[in-house]
Structure 1
Amino acid sequence: MTEANQTVPQRAAAAYSRLAFTRADLLDQGLSRRGITLAVQHGHLQHVRRDRYLLAAVDPDVVEAVRIGGRLTCLSLFAVMGVFVHRRRGLHVFVTRGSSRLRPPKVPQVTYHWNRSSALPELLHVAPLIDAARHAVRCQEPRAAVATLDSLVHHGLLTSSQLDEVFAGLPSRLRPTRTLVDGSAESGPETFVRLMLRTIGVRFETQVFIPGVGRVDFVVEGWLIIECDSKEFHEGWQKQQEDRRRDLAAARRGYVTIRPLATDALGAWQAVQAALREVIETLGPSFIGSRRAQFSKNSGR
């Protein structure tokens, strides 16, 4: 199975499998010293630094992190796993305290996370997941951090108690972010739109099933459907046809459907938030009024 066809949990499991070894590890597994040399020569192993060997098919970011003298973490690690990351900035490397002889990086930008590990790292190439999540909260603005945590919870990589553990190790000023995490979000744009709706102060439900329409991302104030389309999941004319049929079915049931672009929700969220507010304030009163009139009409029969 290619990486493109793997689920996020599968990619995470692959990232957290044993990919890096010391020379002693390899000897314990039955390789001789000559066998190690031959494995490197034939491309089965990579000897990336003193006493660090990696399997051949390892992500280049993992290789560079280990070559430097640390472990991959934060946004770099989550990008490898397929977890949502808003804006990735360079390579993120976890370095345990007391590490020495770090090699100069070969990439233009590296962020070093020197925090004390929450647990003794069991793997030589990636940071513990709890630490990586903490690094991601520190490295991003709040709404992007919430989106990354939403993704981790949605894909079953962090439980509620583990999420509590993440925030227990963060400064108190960051802990209110914990209340905003919602694992129902299936994408980063959904998280961004949910936070917009919270800011606007309207009633909404997420992942709502509507008979004859199917499951929709949001129903706002009982009449507005918001679908968070993105290129990853909405490419192709066949998918567009399906979406248009769903929108028509929703309209027949009295709903208005809008589909903000993922690029706008992520990159121009202030404009999208303002547009959502305007739509709700402009159309909301007429929808509420028409539904009240319909209720009164039905009640008088």
Structure 2
Amino acid sequence: MLSPPPDAAMRRSDLIQLGWTDRGLRRAVDEGRLLKPRDNAYLAPGTHTDLVDACAHGGRLTCVSELARRGVFVLTVDSLHVHLHDARDRTPKPSRRVRRHWGRLRRVPHPASLAVEVFDALREAVRCQPPRAAVATLDSALHLGLLATHELDELFATLPGRYAVVHRLVDERCESGPESLLRLILRSLGVHFDVQVAISGVGRVDFVVDGWLIVECDSFEHHSSWDAQRRDRRRDQAAAALGYATYRPIAEDIMWRPEEVRAALAGLLRGRTDRRAR
């Protein structure tokens, strides 16, 4: 018999077998030593809020909500995504927006699990997100090792044929969501580029475009301190000595203003071509 996952719902009968009494359960809930989001469902304190809310709603956490909880890149999570076991809505109207998911799961979770398996969360995320966001999510899951490369064909075999274009664009070499989104921007420009390139004297860079333009994706998390900025500028200086130019769009522009990033890249590449023509 499978062991329950760390974040699992416990039934009253399970706890009674462990020596609890009904009076002890009521006291533990009142004192916060146990959570009881719905009837006959007890959770350990500290359980992730999204898991608690999914349990309260009578289902399991799924899609982008579950992937974000696991550290997979998703462009946005604007509601709680819950997979329901049946068509009955057994809870009062929640205070937050809920996106309900139905249908057969391809990976059967433990009966006490509060979340679907990653494979099914990814299937739903492909359907729920715009194509470019879905590509970035799949890239992230592959890079983190939460989805094996050989499972990708199986995943898309369970989806309608219109999602085949997303399958063709997946590339696990990208190490972050913004990198994946930037890769799609470069593809749309029709230029040649290499991913995760090691340059002697500079180090590894995110992209090299047409052999001369380095493009790095800068996030607040990794590039906000002065030490990080100083390191980046010295890398750019070393690259310039080798004949490279460097462009560093910030992650929030890549995610939310992609047309501006694309215009900047197009201008840089066009300027190089114009200078060569002159």
TM-score (norm 2): 0.91
Q: For the residues of structure 2 that align with 1:279 and 1:267, how far apart are their CA atoms?
A: 21
Matched, 1:158 2:120: no
Q: For the residues of structure 2 that align with 1:218 and 1:101, how far apart are their CA atoms?
A: 48
2:88 to 95, 100, 103: 100
Q: Which residue of 2 aligns with 1:109?
A: 97
Q: For the residues of structure 1 that align with 2:113 and 2:144, how far apart are their CA atoms?
A: 24
Using the TM superposition, give the Cα deviation of residue 185 of structure 1 relative to its aligned residue in structure 2, in angstroms: 1.2
In 2, are the aligned partners of 1:192 and 1:265 still within 8 Å (CA)?
Answer: yes
Matched, 1:125 2:114: yes
In 2, are the aligned partners of 1:21 and 1:124 still within 8 Å (CA)?
Answer: no
In 1, are the aligned partners of 2:7 and 2:47 still within 8 Å (CA)?
Answer: no
In 2, are the aligned partners of 1:64 and 1:105 still within 8 Å (CA)?
Answer: no
Q: For the residues of structure 2 that align with 1:184 and 1:193, how far apart are their CA atoms?
A: 13
Q: 1:243 to 1:36 in 2, by over 3 A?
A: same
Q: Which residue of 2 aligns with 1:134?
A: 123
Alignment of 1:29-44 (within 5 A): 29-44=18-33
In 1, are the aligned partners of 2:67 and 2:118 still within 8 Å (CA)?
Answer: no
1:196 to 185, 190, 193: 185
**RMSD value over aligned CA atoms?**
1.9
Q: For the residues of structure 2 that align with 1:101 and 1:144, how far apart are their CA atoms?
A: 30
Q: 1:188 to 1:208 in 2, by over 3 A?
A: same
The residue type equivalent to 2:50 in the other structure is: D
What secondary structure is seen at the aligned counterpart in 1 of 2:221? coil
Structure 1 runs not aligned, ≥5 long:
1-15, 290-301
User: After superposition, what is the alpha-carbon deviation per residue over 1:240-293, rounded to whole angstroms, capped at 9, x for unaligned?
Assistant: 000000000000011000001111111111221122122112214657x9xxxx
Q: Which residue of 2 aligns with 1:179?
A: 168
Q: For the residues of structure 1 that align with 2:93 and 2:113, how far apart are their CA atoms?
A: 18
List, as ranges, runs of 4+ consecutive aligned residues in structure 1 with deviation greater than 6 Å.
none
User: After superposition, what is the alpha-carbon deviation per residue over 1:75-111, rounded to whole angstroms, capped at 9, x for unaligned?
Assistant: 1112222211112111111112x35342134233211
Structure 2 runs not aligned, ≥5 long:
none
Matched, 1:67 2:56: yes
Q: 1:220 to 1:19 in 2, by over 3 A?
A: same
- Out of 18-27 and 183-192, give the one that drifted further: 18-27
In 2, are the aligned partners of 1:196 and 1:273 still within 8 Å (CA)?
Answer: yes
Q: Which residue of 2 aligns with 1:13?
A: none
In 2, are the aligned partners of 1:130 and 1:165 still within 8 Å (CA)?
Answer: no
Q: Which residue of 1 aligns with 2:74?
A: 85
Q: For the residues of structure 2 that align with 1:213 and 1:105, how far apart are their CA atoms?
A: 55
User: After superposition, what is the alpha-carbon deviation per residue over 1:168-210, rounded to whole angstroms, capped at 9, x for unaligned?
Assistant: 2111111221121111111111111100111111111111111
In 2, are the aligned partners of 1:154 and 1:185 still within 8 Å (CA)?
Answer: yes
The residue type equivalent to 1:113 in the other structure is: H
Q: For the residues of structure 2 that align with 1:101 and 1:240, how far apart are their CA atoms?
A: 52
User: After superposition, what is the alpha-carbon deviation per residue over 1:110-151, rounded to whole angstroms, capped at 9, x for unaligned?
Assistant: 110112111332143111211111111111100011111111
What secondary structure is seen at the aligned counterpart in 2 of 1:219? strand
TM-score (norm 1): 0.84
Q: Which residue of 2 aligns with 1:216?
A: 205
Using the TM superposition, give the Cα deviation of residue 152 of structure 1 relative to its aligned residue in structure 2, in angstroms: 0.8
User: After superposition, what is the alpha-carbon deviation per residue over 1:39-69, rounded to whole angstroms, capped at 9, x for unaligned?
Assistant: 3233221111111111110121211111010
Q: For the residues of structure 1 that align with 2:244 and 2:254, how far apart are their CA atoms?
A: 21
2:44 to 35, 55, 66: 55
Q: Which residue of 2 aligns with 1:225?
A: 214
> Alignment length, in residue pairs?
272
| Sequence identity percentage | 46
In 1, are the aligned partners of 2:54 and 2:82 still within 8 Å (CA)?
Answer: yes
Q: For the residues of structure 1 that align with 2:33 and 2:158, how far apart are their CA atoms?
A: 39
